[in-house]
Structure formats: structure tokens, C-alpha cells
Structure 1
Amino acid sequence: METDRQLDTDIVVAGGGLAGATLALALARAIPSLRITVVEAFPLSADAGTESYQPSYDARSTALAWGSRLIFEELGLWGALARHATPIRHIHVSDRGRFGATRLNAAEHNQDALGYVVDNRWLGLSLMSALQTCDQVTWRAPAHVQGVSNVAGGVSVQVAEGDTARELRAQCVVIADGGRSGLREQLGFRVDTSRYGQQALIANVSTACSHEFTAYERFTDAGPMALLPHGGSDRPGYDSALVWTLADEALEQILAASDDERCQRLQQRFGWRLGRFTRIGQCHHYPLTLTTVDEVVRPGIVLIGNAAHTLHPVAGQGFNLALRGIMALVEQLQQARAQGENLGSLQALRAYQENHRQDWQNTVRFSDSLIQVFGLDFPAMKVARDAGLVGLDLLPGAKRWFARSAMGLGGRRPRFDTPLKESADD
């Protein structure tokens, strides 16, 4: 078996997006002696500093559950993220045109917020700023992983940087290159995909009435939609992040319409809880699928983030599930390192998979069942949905379960041998 001295690095992270960068930071915090190489397809920006950040109306954002805040606190990153995080203090779930509704309030759970909305760019800049203090993390960008093969003591990772090809030998490679992972396909991981037959339209919108830090989950006969409070934490605002589920034909009509017409169509679907929709920003869209990989580990190889699973966005569970998986992986690798075990050993990686499996399965079921149940349009199901929403609102036990799921507290909390919180907030 090869020794560490014969390796170029300990772990290669294929993909430096939000999942890959968070993993690199967590590994650097948990195992300071570890050598980590991140291979990222896009070049690092010359102005990739938090001081250069300017909030944009059209910025894409991510919903972070309360449990994800706890993770970022553990990584020493929450102090930075909180500067531009909009709290979700209330969640309102309803069935459009029906009487059933469920309301969650952070104060009922003795918390400041149920979750937060953070611009992706701010999240990325904050991660990069923290990683710049981690000498054990090396970036290769722009570059991409062309292939992975098993060798004695670990894996051989073929990396292309421009016209230059090189081999990196490591104990383990973590694939974090997104939901359309070419590397996952190349390596032959079995992917299960269910198509919802709809598209998600993502945009920021403004309304005449303040959102009062409320997130709305609205189920309609044409599909679910979500409005998340956006635009700052200092005062209630009038901007929200929209996730709108549309059939293909309806999406084409929306994209061809003027901004005023888009606001009118949105008004018809959402209603008047926030008054008139006064503005809609740049629209992005993508097809909706539930994608899972049942076996996410092999000797020396593990999938994380969207490479391992993609969920329907309306429930807001995807990145939060990825974060919990990342921390479970870090915990397992920390234990393996302490025991002198190879980080890419199948025993260690399978232990991670089993520790994370129940959280993964429960979150997938929770997210998918919301879409399936509210997608059924016959009268008996409508009555049952109304009864269920009212029951959730009235029964403390059911409401507590639903709140914990929404707050990302249903999974197992990793426990580390050493504190992870270091100097990122100091």
C-alpha cells in the first residue's frame, strides 16, 4: 500500500461550487493536516472578495434551513453570511382557493428564524474568503477531472488544465460537479430519475405589501409555487424570491410575455396576500426532476450534493440535505484519519453512506410526497388536503414534526472529535 508521501494530495474535490467549497472548508477545519485539492471548471474571479459584493435585484438565492445555520456556525462562517441573510420568521402553507392552511412561526420554537435566504454569490464569496486562509487547500482552476481510476492506496485522478494534462494521486476523490455530473455518468453510477413533467421558473419579484419575513408555499391546480423573503435582514421588505412551477406550454407563454403580463399571470396564480405584484426580474428556468443515486460510494470515490441527488425546489430541501451529507462525510473521514485508516477505504465510505441514508431517504420522501399529494386534483383528495393542513395547524405533535422538517432538524447531527469553529469570524 502506498504511503501519504507517495500521494500528491489526500483528497481531490471535483467541483468547486457551493457543495465542493463547503466540503473543502469543513475538511480543512476538521482535519488541519489534510491536503485538499479542489478542481473547478471556472476560473477564480480576480475580485472574488467579500468587499466587492454588491447586492443585485436579479441575484439567484438559496434557502438555508435553521439546521444549516448551525452547520455554518460550526464552520465559523455564519457571522459573515448573516450580514446579507434574510430571515424566514414565518412559513405559510396553503392550497390555492381552499380553506386549508398551516402556519409556522419561529417564536413558537424559541428561535429567531426558521431559516434564511442568502444570495448564491454572497454565499460563494464568503466561502472563498474563508478558504483563502486555509493553506492546506489548493485550487486548480480552470480545470476539470477527465477520469478516475483505482490504484494501490487510493485513486488516480486525471486533470486537464488548458492544454496540460496531469495525474493526481489521492486517497479519495469526491465528485461535487452538480446535477448534470459528467464524471458521475462516465464512472457508470446508476441514476434513478423521475420527471415531474414541469419546469421551474426562478425570478425575484416585488409586491405592494411587505412580506414581513414570511415564506409562502402555495399549491395551485397548475402546480406549486414558493415566495421567499429576500433583500436584507434589517427591516421587512417588499422583494421576494419566486419559484414557480409551470407546464411547458405555460412557461413558453410566460417567457414570451411582457413584464406587466408576467406579473398579472403571477397574480392570478398566487392571489393577493402580498398585494399587487409590481415588478418581476430576470427569469431563469429548468426542468423539474427527482434524481437519486442509491449507491453513492465506491472504493476511493464518493458523490455529494446535486451529483448524489436533486429534489423539487419548492420544498427548499436540496442544498440543506447536501450540507448535512457533507458534514456526515467529514465526520466519518475525521474518524478514519484518527484510526489510521485510508480515507478512501470502502469500509469508511460505506459507514458514511449508512449514517446519512435515513436522513436522505426521509428528506426525499418528504419533498416528493408534498408534490405528489398536492398534484392530485380530484375532489376527495382536495378535502383530505384541507383536513391535513388544518390538522397540521392544530395538532402540536404534527406541527412540531413539520416544523423540524422545514428547519432541517430531522436528520442526525454529526459530532466531531475536535471543534470546527476557528477564525473565519474573528
Structure 2
Amino acid sequence: MNRFDTDLIIAGGGLAGATLALALARVVPSLRVTVVETFPLSADALPEHYQPSYDARSTALAWGSRLIFEELGLWPRLSEHATPIRQIHVSDRGHFGATRLNAGDHGQEALGYVADNRWMGLCLMRELLETGVQWQAPAEVVDMTPETEGVRVALKRGTETWSLSAQCLVVADGGRSGLREALGFQTRNHSYGQNALIANVSTGESHRFTAFERFTDAGPMALLPHGTTTRAGHQSALVWTLTDEALDEVLALSDPQKCQRLQERFGWRLGRFTRIGECSHYPLKLTTVDEAVRPGVALVGNAAHALHPVAGQGFNLALRGLMTLVEQLRQAVEQGQSLGDLQVLGRYQRLHRQDWQQTVQFSDSLIRIFGDAPAPVAAARDAGLVGLDLLPGAKRWFARKAMGLGGRRAVISKPGVARREPAGHE
């Protein structure tokens, strides 16, 4: 008889939680996994034909993330609406420095991809419906109590409350995790004093599958190619960094005025900005948790670390962390250890820590180097961009960081399948 109601509970069924559930179903199918999600599940959310809306929000997927989704069997479906990034152009507004990365120079068809968040969620849900993963939705995890070799998790749906016992609880409910605070995890926050404005835009010139990273005296902005997977279009996903005052000014403008302001900051590399969609925004801060695991509980994704979006590394870092956790849980099952054993979760934290520290340092240093700086510093960074464009070794290092291949990536082992190193892994 099973001692627990379920083996592992995942609090949060978003991209991180759903990916973790699918990976566990693929790699350790014997585990009983329960996902608790606040939004209800409905068959209406699984249309036969997907038509992206103009205002759909998207995520940048590094090449390394594609390799992970290939291992999970998700990429063939996901790639149907994933726009390739074949070039990256990095520039410093008002200065001569620039560098260019090209996928062909690294023997790949793309440096990364841009995918709608909703499409990714639909792909994950369709795959999960074919597994034994159980769902409690709508519901939320409100508390957790340690027990002998496991935990008891309190759940709530409206006025109804109940509990489930499990070996381990994984908190995957995002950067604004209320459960993380309720369980007493201490976060460290560094505010950048800026906001990210997110919108989709259309331009007179085709993006030619190029992502633009533009550093300005008011903060960085990024334009990621969006739309069709085979024909270079005119739509891009915008991430625009603004101070509080500048954000209020931009939000008060009409759409044509927003396009004009964006034109002034970005320039004419994509021709005239002709349309800007619905704008959303959020404050930018670096959030880390020193100790992301305790006996019986682990934080993953944005609940464990939230980065500045300047380098597009947030979800890619989270995905690598999820695969590291899956591998440690697989080994625990093989060795007869409890999933919530601190030795098991501690190994996950130690293995993932180096990756997130390097990624945080990479993203944070870009903000500091390309922030408002004296003339000698500005000249040095421009010379650095030119040098990066000319020196193959430095350029390859930068490209690997952008492709999500610079950090440690767990190679998951499926039952009955020998371990292998995927292409592009070092």
C-alpha cells in the first residue's frame, strides 16, 4: 500500500510547473505526480487549430532549450509556431560599437526561437493529457507541514479545504509566489529602478529573423522576430526598458505617438514602426533565494530566481534547473531515497547554483556595463563590442551564452535508454 496520497505535488501549472510534470512523466513514469493550478482546465482550451493573436505574449527560447524540448518529445509540435532567431544584432545607441551573431557561423539553423506563451501552454497540456499526471484545478496550495519522510500539503478551492500527503512539494507558482513567502523562504531583491514595457510591434521592413538588442542611455530594448516560422515577416516582440517617469509618459501617448517615441529610441534598422499592440508592464528587479530547498520542498523557476529580461535568459535558466531536478529525482527513485530527502534536493541546488550564478552575473553585468556611464567607460564598451565582432573566441563565448549552452545542462535519462550527449552540448 502506498504511504502517500501522491508522490510529488507541483504548486503551479504554468510553463515551469507543466514542463516539470511532463519531464517527470517521461523520465520517471512510475512516480505519481499531482499538479495544483489556480486556473480551471477546460477542453475548450485545446483548439484543433491555433491562430495566434496579434497581442499574444511570447518567450525567447535558447537553442539549448530546444534540445531539452526535443528530449521530452515536445519540439515537433511546439516548433509549428516557433519563430527562429537566425541573427542577433547588438548595438549601443549613439555610439559606434556593435556586434552580430549568425546561427550559420555556429553550425546551427537558429540561435534560438520565439514562441507564444499560450501556444507553449497548449502544447504542454496536450502532451500531459496523455500521461498519468493528475490535476487539481482550480485549486491552490496554501500551506505545507513536514511529516515523517514526507509532507502534508493544504489545498483550497473557494471555501473548500483539504490536504494531500506526498514525499515532496515543488513550488512553481512564479516570481510573485505567495506560497514561497507563506512557507518562510527569504528572498533578496535588487531593484533596477526600471520597468519593462511589453508589446508586439509591426515595422515597414522585414525583421529577416533577426533579434535586436539595443542599449540606450535610458536602458536596453529588445526586438525579437515574431510570427511565421518560414517567411520573414514584419512583426516583432518588444521589450522596452523605461524609468517610472518615462513609463507614465509613454503609456499616456496614443499608439502613433508611441511608435514615434519608439522610433526615436530604436532607430530605422527595421524601417518605420507602423503599429504597436496592447502594452503591459512590470517593474524590473533581480530576485534570488539563497536556500531554495528544505526537507520536503524545493523552489523552481521564477519562484527561485527572477532575472532582468535583457538577455532573454529567464525561462531558459529555469528550464535547465527543472531538468537538473528531474535527474536528481530519477536517481532518488533508483536508489530508494525519499524525493524530499535533503540530500536529494541539496544535490539539485548545488548543481543548479553555478548555472544561475553565472547567468545572473552575465545578465546583471550587461545592465551595469551598458547603463549610464562616463565617456571613457562608454568608449571602452564600444571598443569591446567591436572587438567581440572581430575576435572569434570571444564571439563564440558570447554566442554560447545567448544560445543557452554556457551553463551546465542535465542530460536526462529515460527508462531503458542509454545516456547520451545531445548535439551542441559541451
CA distance in 2, matches of 1:55, 1:418: 33
Does residue 404 (structure 1) correspond to residue 404 (structure 2)? The answer is: no
Shift of residue 177 of structure 1?
0.6
Distance 1:356 1:50, change over 3 A: farther
From 51, 67, 71, give the equivalent of 1:70.
Answer: 67
Of residues 183, 204, 207, the one that matches 1:208 is 204
Q: Does 1:274 align with 2:270?
A: yes
Residue-by-residue CA offset, 1:389-425 (whole Å, 9 max, x unaligned): 111111111111100000000122213332699xxxx
- Matched with 2:358 is 362
C-alpha RMSD of the superposition:
1.1
> 2:79 aligns to what?
82
Letter in 1 for 2:362: F
TM-score by length of 2: 0.96
Distance 2:195 2:171 in 1: 26
2:247 equivalent in structure 1? 251
Equivalent residue pairs, number: 417
Deviations 1:80-137 (A, max 9, x none): 01100000000000100111001000000010000000000000000000000002x1
The percentage of aligned residue pairs carrying the same residue is 70
- 2:121 corresponds to which residue? 124
1:277-356 matched pairs, under 5 angstroms:
277-356=273-352
Aligned-partner Cα distance in 2 for 1:363–1:416: 21
Amino acid at match of 2:98: A
> For 2:205, what is the secondary structure of its paired residue?
coil
1:388 matched to 2:384? The reply is yes
Give the secondary structure class of the aligned counterpart of 2:43: coil
CA distance in 1, matches of 2:42, 2:388: 47
Matched, 1:61 2:66: no
Superposition deviation, residue 377 in structure 1:
2.2
Alpha-carbon deviation of 1:58?
A: 0.4
Note if contact 1:13-1:175 (Cα within 8 Å) is conserved in structure 2: yes
TM superposition outliers: structure 1 runs of 4+ over 4 Å: none
1:341-375: CA deviation from partner (whole Å, max 9, x where unpaired): 00100000000111111111000000111011101
Q: Following the alignment from structure 2 to structure 1, what is the Cα–Cα distance between the partners of residues 411 and 180?
A: 29
Residue in structure 2 matched with residue 424 of structure 1 by the alignment: none
Structure 1 residues 419, 245: closer, same or farther in 2, change over 3 A?
farther
Give TM-score, length-normalised by structure 1.
Answer: 0.96
Alignment of 1:121-160 (within 5 A): 121-135=118-132, 137-160=133-156
Structure 1: distance between partners of 2:345 and 2:96: 48
Query: Which amino acid letter does the alignment assign opposite residue 123 of structure 2?
Result: S
Unpaired stretches in structure 1, ≥5 consecutive residues: 422-426
Instruction: Give the Cα–Cα distance (whole angstroms) in 2 for the partners of residues 266 and 204 of structure 1.
Output: 12
Unaligned residue ranges in structure 2 (runs of 5+):
418-426
- The answer to whether 1:262 aligns with 2:258 is yes
- What SS does the corresponding residue of 1:289 show, helix, strand or coil? strand
2:160 matched residue in structure 1: 164
Alignment of 1:201-240 (within 5 A): 201-240=197-236
State how far apart, in whole Å, the 2-side matches of 1:64 and 1:187 are. 31
2:40 match: 43
SS in 2 for 1:51: coil
Equivalent in the alignment of 2:17: 20
Provide the rounded CA distance (Å) in 2 between the counterparts of 1:148 and 1:391. 52
Separation (CA, whole Å) in 1 of partners of 2:411 and 2:225:
32
Contact 1:40–1:144 (CA under 8 A) maintained in structure 2 = yes
Q: What is the CA distance between 1:162 and its match in structure 2?
A: 2.5
Q: Matches of 2:42 and 2:246 in 1, distance apart? A: 37
Kindly provide the amino acid, as one letter, of the partner of residue 81 in structure 1.
L
On the 8 A contact 1:87/1:115 being kept in 2, the answer is yes
Q: Work out whether residues 75 and 420 of structure 1, in 8 Å CA contact, stay in contact via their aligned partners in 2.
A: no
**Is the partner of 1:6 in helix, strand or coil?**
coil
Partner AA of 2:64 in structure 1: G
Q: Which residue of 2 aligns with 1:34?
A: 31
Deviates more, 1:155-164 or 1:337-346: 155-164
2:28·2:415 contact (CA, 8 Å) conserved in 1? no
Aligned partners of 1:415, 1:117: CA distance in 2, in Å?
23
Per the alignment, in what secondary structure is the counterpart of residue 5 of structure 1? coil
Is it true that 1:416 corresponds to 2:412 in the alignment?
yes
